[in-house]
Homo-oligomer: A and B are copies of this chain.
């Protein structure tokens, strides 16, 4: 699942481009991704475009239908909610294991990032803050030193990027995030599984609701626009 960081292949570049467009909303749900037209538009052949579409399909961002153009996925509230449930479970498992296995370096990195977030939370724009939040959670997953777990967790984090971003824009109390992160940090540092579990529950419990509200709002808007 790890790409060669050296020189991304054309298909990966295309996938990255489309991914950005989808996540930023430039390609809204239900938009058709015709591999012919789209490839011509970008001046590439169908082959890498095809592969890029497969990558995004694998990530759940587009859906493939037999004998039909692939379209940008329009996740239902239930689907997103289900994914959040899994994400939460994976992250809690990670944290549990991390209580035993996290190295001092892991904790140091986590603390450093947490510090950075605490300093910047009211100064940087939402997107940057969001990236840092994502990195924080990824670090937790990686602190369990379980490659499969980290990979799957990361996949869900990526898949929920848009939903989480939508929810982040509507949530204005950033202070809470910072305090939650602090609680998670402390629990991890104390290597207290129970406290970590509680802290994560606290931090992510509202996420599902926020995301649900955001998705519903977007879908309602789409319906109004005649989507």
Residue of B nearest to A146 (CB): B82
20 A-B contacts (beta carbon < 8 Å) = A1-B58, A4-B66, A51-B54, A54-B54, A79-B147, A79-B148, A82-B147, A82-B148, A82-B149, A83-B148, A85-B93, A85-B97, A85-B146, A85-B148, A86-B90, A86-B148, A86-B149, A86-B152, A89-B93, A152-B152
Shortest distance from the beta carbon of A45 to any chain B beta carbon, whole Å: 12
Q: Does A6 lie at the interface of the complex (its beta carbon under 8 Å from any beta carbon of B)?
A: yes
Residues 48-101 of A at the B interface (beta carbon under 8 Å): 51, 54, 58, 66, 79, 82-83, 85-86, 89-90, 93, 97
Residue of B nearest to A47 (CB): B47
**By the criterion CB–CB under 8 Å, are A146 and B86 in contact?**
yes
Residues of A that sit less than 8 Å from B by CB: 1, 4, 6, 51, 54, 58, 66, 79, 82-83, 85-86, 89-90, 93, 97, 146-149, 152, 156
Give the number of copies in the complex. Answer: 2
Q: Chain B residues with Cβ under 8 A from A1's Cβ? A: 58
Residue of B nearest to A155 (CB): B152
Q: Chain B residues with Cβ under 8 A from A93's Cβ? A: 85-86, 89
Shortest distance from the beta carbon of A187 to any chain B beta carbon, whole Å: 19
Q: Chain B residues with Cβ under 8 A from A97's Cβ? A: 85
